[in-house]
């Protein structure tokens, strides 16, 4: 599903250059649930942003579902994001003046789905995350965990090939974090390919494979012992 080779990324700041990704190689198969773990500043978000076509690498190749991702202009990048990807962020990134249902409908609007069908689909995904009865509430009326569930429903609405989650539990308490990760596990059980960026080992252990990033390099890539992971549940 994802194949990257020798990815490099530097940020320029005035006359200084910060080399953040120093040759990343890895691949993700369809149906995997993978965490990218590392301490703050190790380059996790930089990597995820490149995978999400929100930024571009300086060097290396990126293949997504058989499509070579290269020299994208903003319009093509937006099309690919819509077609292939769903995003989940630490800060939820919901639209504050739209209710839960309308937030979940947004990606469908951009896909050109007609209104009645949008509402049905959005409701379906809200039900899936256990929030049907909150459909007409604004984000400000929801708890952090509920907001993230709405964001997950929104990410699922366009039936993306891959879900990219950047610190999805970063703003949540421990119990709510595990609940959100259990929801993500359930979505993966249904076959969705999911990448979760986190700096928390407990969260990473709730995925099936941990890719450890340090100073812009992968230092470890291991399958999680599923028995151990289930002790959280
Ligand atoms: P992580 O998500 O693992 O905390 P990031 O990928 O956000 O790490 O950042 C890696 C490094 O790159 C950090 O030192 C950070 O300060 C720097 N960095 C991130 N984004 C930018 C940017 N847009 N411009 C300059 N430096 C950046
Ligand atoms: Mg980050």
pLDDT of residue 58: 96
The predicted model gives 160-182 an average pLDDT of 97
Best of 45, 46, 195 for a ligand 1 pocket test (most atoms within 8 Å of beta carbon)? 46
Rounded CA gap, 72 and 92, in Å?
Answer: 26
Best of 10, 22, 43, 170 for a ligand 1 pocket test (most atoms within 8 Å of beta carbon)? 43
pLDDT of residue 230: 54
Report the side by side order of strands in the sheet with 16-28.
16-28, 2-13, 59-64, 67-68
Residue 71 scores a pLDDT above 90: no
Beta strands 193-198 and 33-37, pairing class: parallel
Rounded CA gap, 2 and 30, in Å?
Answer: 8
Phi and psi at 38, nearest 5°, equal: 175, 165
Residue 226 scores a pLDDT above 80: no
User: What percent of the chain stands above pLDDT 90?
Assistant: 91
Give distance in angstroms: CA of 160 to centre of ligand 2: 22
DSSP character for 1?
A: -
Local structure of 106: helix, strand or coil? helix
Q: Are 92 and 148 in contact (CB under 8 A)?
A: yes
Atom of ligand 1 nearest to the CA of 199: 3
User: Is the ipTM reported for this complex over the cut 0.95?
Assistant: yes
Q: Are 222 and 28 in contact (CB under 8 A)?
A: no
Atom of ligand 1 nearest to the CA of 40: 4
What would the DSSP string read from start to end of 81-100? HHHHEEEEETT----TTS-H
Give residue-wise pLDDT tens across range 87-104: 999 999 999 999 999 999
Residue 62 β-bridge partners: 4
Model-level pTM?
0.94
| Angle of CA points 63, 3, 178, to nearest 5° | 115
Half-sphere exposure of 31 (CA within 13 A, CB side): 3
- For ligand 1, residues with CB inside 6 Å are 11, 13, 18, 20, 38, 40-46
Top-confidence residue, 173 or 110? 173
The predicted model gives 196-206 an average pLDDT of 97
Instruction: Kindly tell me the sign of the dihedral angle through the C-alpha atoms of 23, 39, 170, 127.
Output: positive
Q: Are 212 and 219 in contact (CB under 8 A)?
A: yes
Closest to 150 measured CA to CA, from 116, 185, 105, 207: 105
User: What percent of the chain stands above pLDDT 70?
Assistant: 97
Residue 232 scores a pLDDT above 60: no
The predicted model gives 109-115 an average pLDDT of 90
Residue-averaged pLDDT of the chain: 95
CATH for the stretch 30-58+73-232: 3.40.50.300
Give distance in angstroms: CA of 46 to centre of ligand 1: 6
Residue 69 scores a pLDDT above 70: yes
């Amino acid at each position: 599903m994802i194949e990257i080779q020798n990815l490099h990324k530097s940020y320029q700041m005035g006359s200084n250059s910060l080399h953040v990704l120093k040759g990343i190689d890895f691949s993700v198969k369809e149906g995997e649930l993978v965490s990218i773990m590392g301490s703050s500043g190790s380059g996790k978000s930089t990597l995820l942003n490149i995978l999400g076509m929100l930024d571009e690498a300086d060097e290396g190749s990126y293949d997504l579902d058989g499509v070579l991702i290269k020299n994208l202009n903003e319009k093509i990048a937006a099309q690919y994001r819509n077609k292939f990807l769903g995003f989940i962020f630490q800060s939820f990134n919901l639209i504050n003046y739209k209710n839960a249902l309308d937030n979940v409908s947004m990606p469908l609007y951009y896909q050109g789905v007609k209104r009645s069908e949008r509402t049905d689909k959005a409701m379906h995904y809200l039900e899936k995350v256990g929030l049907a009865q909150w459909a007409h509430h604004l984000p400000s009326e929801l708890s952090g965990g509920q907001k993230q569930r709405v964001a997950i429903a929104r990410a699922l609405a366009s039936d993306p090939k891959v879900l990219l989650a950047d610190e999805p539990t970063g703003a949540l308490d421990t119990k709510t974090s595990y609940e959100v990760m259990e929801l993500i596990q359930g979505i993966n059980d249904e076959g969705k390919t999911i990448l979760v960026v986190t700096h928390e080992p407990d969260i990473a252990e709730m995925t099936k494979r941990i890719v450890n990033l340090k100073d812009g390099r992968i230092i470890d890539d291991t399958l999680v012992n599923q028995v151990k992971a289930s002790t959280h549940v």
